Amino acid sequence: MKAILLLFFVMITGQVCFSQVHDESFRGNEPTKVQVYPNPAVDYITVKLETPTAHSSKLSLHSIIGNSVELEQEVVDDFEIRVKVKDLAVGYYIIVVSDPQTSARSIHKFLKR
């Protein structure tokens, strides 16, 4: 019985962890589009914002098990941020894009190869 419950738990958490992560965040009722590409990534990922908030946006990077990971980012223009992932170990990561002015937050999963 324990084995069946454990298997059920692993299946459910696996679906949650590896399912498609939202590509929009919500500010009131209005969604703000955020794109993270390429996925899978090798050297860099690009965070493309719908609004010109790249300079005020905060990014945080986490391993798939939730550990915080240092990130090196570069603001390309008002709509785009480039994040270096070249030195990360192969695996799944979560990037959180937050706008402190509007309290909007967007969470994305990507694979580092």
> Residue 109: helix, strand or coil by DSSP?
strand
Give the integer Cα–Cα distance in Å for 17 and 33. Answer: 21
Whole-prediction pTM: 0.73
Domain 21-112 CATH (choose: 3.40.50.2300, 1.10.1200.10, 1.10.10.10, 2.60.40.1220): 2.60.40.1220
Q: Do residues 32 and 104 touch, judged by C-beta distance below 8 A? A: yes
Question: Which value, in Å, is the radius of gyration of the alpha carbons in the chain?
Answer: 16
User: Would you state the pLDDT for residue 71?
Assistant: 94
Q: How far apart are CA 21 and CA 27, in angstroms?
A: 17
Residue-level pLDDT at 101: 86
List per-block mean pLDDT (blocks of 10 residues) for the chain, which spans 113 residues. Answer: 42 39 46 88 96 94 96 96 97 95 92 97
Q: What is the pLDDT of residue 102?
A: 85
Which pLDDT score, from 0 to 100, does residue 95 have?
97
Sign, Cα dihedral of 38, 76, 105, 60: positive
